[in-house]
Amino acid sequence: MVPKFSSRARAEAAALIALSSSFAVSLAAPPPKPVCLDWVERLIECCEAYQAYVPDTQMDLESLLVLQRSLVAGKVMLGKCPHRYCHTPILIDRYAGRNQCGYCKPPRMPHRTSGEEQSPIEPA
């Protein structure tokens, strides 16, 4: 099963992937076998550093481990927003349709009921 990441979580995941290299932890590579305590400590430090920098983050250690497993399995990958002028780093779900960052994602339009006509421009 592929985890579902919101547009915000995809942007945060991309930031965590970039930050992880500062802690000598490659999230795109499988953990060392057997998993050594040093690798786990660096992973926790990376997560704590990100949480200190972004206090209202949706990412926690469990999310970071799910992200790491998904990257290793090839279900997600680091990429850029495909919008023409944006190119913000985001996490790309390989099995989903278009992936856009939260800034470029178009707002949802309200559903119309049948027979109801709505003007795209409100009268003044």
Confidence of residue 26 (pLDDT cuts 50, 70, 90): confident
Q: Is residue 65 part of a domain?
A: yes
Whether residue 119 lies inside any domain: the answer is: no
Count of the separate structural domains present in the chain = 1
Give the model's confidence band at 32: pLDDT under 50 very low, under 70 low, under 90 confident, else very high: confident
Look at residue 42 in the predicted model and tell me its pLDDT.
92
Residue 102 lies in a domain: no
| More reliable by pLDDT, 104 or 62 | 62
Question: How far apart (Å, rounded) are the C-alpha atoms in residues 93 and 109?
Answer: 24
Residue 120 lies in a domain: no
- Which pLDDT value is given to residue 123? 43
- Residue 121: inside a domain: no
Residue 5 confidence (pLDDT) above 80? no
Whether 36 maps to a domain, the answer reads: yes
**pLDDT band, very low/low/confident/very high, at 120 (cuts 50, 70, 90):** very low
Residue 42 forms part of a structural domain: yes
| Encoded tokens for 78 | 């680091």
Domain of residue 14: give its range: 7-93
